[in-house]
Structure 1
Amino acid sequence: MRIIARLQNVSKMLDFYSQFNPSPLSIKKFIDFGLNASEEKSFIFLRKELPVRLANIMKEIALLPDNLLRMPSVIAVNDWYIRSFQEILEFEKKDPNPDILEHFCSELVKIRNRHSDVVETMAQGVLELKESHDVDSHTEHSIQYFLDRFYMSRISIRMLINQHIHLFSALIFGGLLERAPGPNKSKYIGCIDTQCDIVSVIRDAYENARFLCDQYYLASPELILNEIHHNQLEKEQFINIVYVPSHLYHMLFELFKNSMRAVMEYHNTSDLFPPITVTVSRGREDICLKMSDQGGGISRSTTDHLFKYMYSTAPQPSKSDAHTVPLAGYGYGLPISRLYARYFHGDLVLLSCEGYGTDAVIYMKALSNEANELLPIFNKATSRFYRSTLQTGDWSNQATHIGDRQISIHTKKHQLPQQESLTRAL
């Protein structure tokens, strides 16, 4: 009876908090708050904002297809979210005295650690569904829509938690601004580097990806780096940005792995491997990173699938080696990297020339006040999306796409008039 009562109470609180929209923050707001850090203010904000963000995405979990909700891994993820939601609610009406603040920080660490394997576990749940059921196009479309929003929500929640922990936990940096490696000795505010040296992060991601490439292929392509400044902007010795280095590293590491694999396999009969070129460009609105390889490129039909969670060009990982290489075989590297780019209103796009190579471009907002969080919001339109069936296509070719939005999914079967009749009509 107690369990039933507790679940009913959780359901009521989910209904209550899901009425509110999350409050997106810009990188500048994160920085401004960090410079005048008040643990009490952060506590008061997070005990409301975290339940709102959790409730918004938990309401969507309940809308997933029943077959997916019954998968053991998905049940585990759902249980983690319920438990974390309950633990945050315990602080709803508590006064922010020193003991409560310390307890709150330790609970956030526990919640963060509990959710550390959410990506892999949810991916395993999707695999369990594919292995046990036939997945129709509508179900696949719903899963793609959900996972984009679910993983973006997770990025945002971890961002809030990490900022609080890094700023106020006595166990991490003593709450002080941490000096980071690099020529400028950049300073962190929480997990944000106010002078993030982009070239340093690029080299770090390249060297780590190169290590894996050398282990597997016994060789690796070299790196060429170019820095370009907008003509009307004052040139700096280094192109820096106010950003979360771990986010940028995640994107670059994934792209380097993909490019190196393509180059090594496309030129497998040669002892010479063309280099990977990374160009960093600072413009008025965006800082762009373009990674170019000569790995043979990707066909357009394949490119359309690379950001789909239910598609992968690598073999599926076994449970024993799932943690050897991050997300190996799940096919989640590129979709989640794009979410990291879009989280602060940037983007990640692929441009490929089949038979030659591929360019991957990361866009990041140059101004920190324009780099706002992009957050999923649960509302009636969201509910309708999961319930509605795919619309009949309104273009002649169901394979036609505009950007990453498919503009026709199903087409009505019909026959064109005979050529002679068509000519007469004209």
Structure 2
Amino acid sequence: MNRTQAALHALPSDLINKLCKSKATRLSLKQMYTLGRHVLESKNQGALVIPAVFLHQELPIRLSHALKMLNSNMLPINMSDMPNFQHIARSYLEDISMVTQMPKPSTPKLEEEFTDLLRNLEQRHKIKILAISRGFRELMDKLQSEHAGNNYDPSCNPLFYQNGKGWTIDPEADKAIQSFFNRFYSINLGTRLLIGEHLALHDRGLNLIQRLNPLSISKVAIRDAQKVCATHYGQPAPSVLIHTPNPDISTTYVEEFLHRNIYELLKNAMRATCETHLKAGTPISLGMSPVSSGTASKSKLPPVKLVLVDGGEDVTIKISDEGGGMALSEMDKIWSYVHSGNSSNLRQFPNPTQTTGTAIKNATHPADSMSVMGGLASEAKDYLDLPLSGSGHGLPLARLIARYFGGDLSLISMEGYGTDSYLSLYRDDDHLENFPEVDEEMADEVDVFVNELLEEPSSSQGSSNFSNQQSTPIAKQVEGVTAF
């Protein structure tokens, strides 16, 4: 038995079940921002003990909820039986073991050791999330290839059905898949944010939740989207016209979340504009009167428009394009984890930049914008350095991010003309995380699932070093941390 297996078997037999039935302590932007400012203003390394102790208690609960989702029956296809998903589930179990067997980080020295563990968890989780997305896309590609042949038996897997024009996914199955990924990604989004916040405080002396100026972040996102667009099409990207009655708008939010969502919408708008108006290398006019930006533009394409408005309850960003729009029947598909990667109307720019410096460099399938969950603690925005095509999870994830603290993302499209995207940020920074509630029925099934994982031989790949960790009982269920 290797060290990883020994550490897993050292877990109390009923621990995972107890964690799965425990409720996560949901936090607000205001709570995280206030604690972050307290840590930074104290200029005392000992101040990091407070969030570290909270994370030591909270992370096992959140990790167990992610593990629980991998054993859920929410999917019409049994993904939990796939070797790739079993390996990922075992990795979550290893993460829980690592955290629970660490001593409570109640001193600056123990906090340093715990932070080293968090750095390890951050990298492991980045790879796990990308593997989930990539594995699902590979599975769907395999099923679609089978359905395209003559040997498909619909009684074996009712995921697809014949609609008279060919095989298409069952709408109820599509909704079930969307529900699964929405819950799974939301759990991991919140967990990654907590880890990223602590590492940012410890390593970089800043907190991720800040008072932001959306206009400044929009300008950076515009430059980033134009750069990848121009590289892909070999000519200047569409210009972007900005309209706002108040350039000094501010709100409490996560900078990377906001940049990532604005970038995603701009990228799609520019892609649609180029695809619609560049035919045989010649721009096509829709017969619209040009809008003057007051500045010269090298691009002859219709501009993308960004409107930023400061409302009483929300800060709203509208991004409009003249990219041809989508049919009404296609609108629901943009939020589908099955359809969005395959629709010709939803193609995304492949980024020519090669991935470097991470284990994802050797991935056999293009990574996608799920990588936003892997870069929160570092200055680099990973989703700008990875190919943005492949799984098609860009827009569904963008809406999850928007909704996580009470905002929203919606699209209105006019087929034959263009699309308007509305990104709303909820002003109430007391709004708690949109962390999925505990499902008691799913928790009851986890014991059998965990025992099966422990009985199977564990791959040495990705195993963690537990040699310097001490075995201690898990802290009691979190009752609340007043410092947040």
TM-superposition CA deviations, 1:231-282 (whole Å, max 9, x none): xxxxxx5112111110011111111111111000111134331101010111
SS at match of 1:306: helix
Pick closer, same or farther for the CA change 1:95–1:330 going to 2, 3 Å: closer
Letter matched to residue 189 of structure 2: I
Partner of 1:68: 79
Which of 159, 162, 166 does residue 200 from structure 2 map onto? 166
Q: Given that residues 224 and 276 in structure 1 are in contact (C-alpha distance below 8 angstroms), is that contact kept between their aligned partners in structure 2?
A: yes
Partner of 1:202: 218
Partner of 1:155: 189
C-alpha displacement of 1:94? 3.4
Pick closer, same or farther for the CA change 1:107–1:353 going to 2, 3 Å: same
1:193-272 matches, within 5 Å, as: 193-194=210-211, 196-219=212-235, 220-228=237-245, 237-269=247-279, 270-271=282-283, 272=300
Aligned length: 357
Deviates more, 1:107-116 or 1:130-139: 130-139
Q: Given that residues 308 and 315 in structure 2 are in contact (C-alpha distance below 8 angstroms), is that contact kept between their aligned partners in structure 1?
A: yes
Pick closer, same or farther for the CA change 1:383–1:22 going to 2, 3 Å: closer
Rounded Cα–Cα distance in structure 1 between residues aligned with 2:57 and 2:22: 10
Rounded Cα–Cα distance in structure 2 between residues aligned with 1:95 and 1:383: 28
Pick closer, same or farther for the CA change 1:343–1:95 going to 2, 3 Å: closer
Rounded Cα–Cα distance in structure 2 between residues aligned with 1:49 and 1:245: 24
C-alpha displacement of 1:154? 1.1
Partner of 1:20: 22
C-alpha displacement of 1:96? 1.5
SS at match of 1:360: strand
Pick closer, same or farther for the CA change 1:83–1:383 going to 2, 3 Å: closer
* Alignment TM-score, normalising by the size of structure 2: 0.68
1:378-393 matches, within 5 Å, as: 378-380=438-440
Is 1:79 equivalent to 2:140 in the alignment? no
Pick closer, same or farther for the CA change 1:78–1:35 going to 2, 3 Å: same
Is 1:336 equivalent to 2:397 in the alignment? yes
Rounded Cα–Cα distance in structure 2 between residues aligned with 1:335 and 1:10: 37
TM-superposition CA deviations, 1:199-248 (whole Å, max 9, x none): 1111111111111111121231100001135xxxxxxx511211111001
Partner of 2:64: 55
Is 1:350 equivalent to 2:403 in the alignment? no
C-alpha displacement of 1:95? 5.6
SS at match of 1:287: strand
Which of 311, 318, 321 does residue 293 from structure 1 map onto? 321
Letter matched to residue 215 of structure 2: V
Is 1:100 equivalent to 2:110 in the alignment? yes
Rounded Cα–Cα distance in structure 2 between residues aligned with 1:74 and 1:51: 19
SS at match of 2:400: helix
Rounded Cα–Cα distance in structure 2 between residues aligned with 1:156 and 1:246: 14
Rounded Cα–Cα distance in structure 1 between residues aligned with 2:128 and 2:191: 12
* Alignment TM-score, normalising by the size of structure 1: 0.77
What is the alpha-carbon root mean square deviation over aligned residues? 2.6
Pick closer, same or farther for the CA change 1:319–1:97 going to 2, 3 Å: same
Deviates more, 1:210-219 or 1:307-316: 307-316
Rounded Cα–Cα distance in structure 2 between residues aligned with 1:302 and 1:99: 55
C-alpha displacement of 1:20? 1.4
Rounded Cα–Cα distance in structure 1 between residues aligned with 2:388 and 2:158: 22
Q: Given that residues 366 and 390 in structure 2 are in contact (C-alpha distance below 8 angstroms), is that contact kept between their aligned partners in structure 1?
A: no
What 5-or-longer segments of structure 2 have no aligned partner? 40-46, 144-156, 160-169, 284-299, 351-362, 369-384, 445-484
Rounded Cα–Cα distance in structure 2 between residues aligned with 1:156 and 1:206: 27
Q: Given that residues 225 and 279 in structure 1 are in contact (C-alpha distance below 8 angstroms), is that contact kept between their aligned partners in structure 2?
A: yes
TM-superposition CA deviations, 1:68-126 (whole Å, max 9, x none): 123343233223212211111123x5361222110001100110011113332112221
SS at match of 1:305: helix
Rounded Cα–Cα distance in structure 1 between residues aligned with 2:115 and 2:22: 24
Rounded Cα–Cα distance in structure 1 between residues aligned with 2:121 and 2:253: 24
SS at match of 1:242: strand
Partner of 1:42: 51
C-alpha displacement of 1:369? 2.2
1:408-419 matches, within 5 Å, as: none
Pick closer, same or farther for the CA change 1:124–1:307 going to 2, 3 Å: same
Partner of 1:402: none
Q: Identity over the aligned pairs, expressed in percent?
A: 29
Letter matched to residue 339 of structure 1: L
Is 1:109 equivalent to 2:119 in the alignment? yes
Q: Given that residues 202 and 249 in structure 1 are in contact (C-alpha distance below 8 angstroms), is that contact kept between their aligned partners in structure 2?
A: yes
Which of 289, 293, 306 does residue 334 from structure 2 map onto? 306
Q: Given that residues 271 and 348 in structure 2 are in contact (C-alpha distance below 8 angstroms), is that contact kept between their aligned partners in structure 1?
A: no
What 5-or-longer segments of structure 1 have no aligned partner? 178-189, 230-236, 385-426
- With CA pairs under 8 Å and 6+ residues apart, which has the higher RCO, 1 or 2? 2
SS at match of 1:36: helix
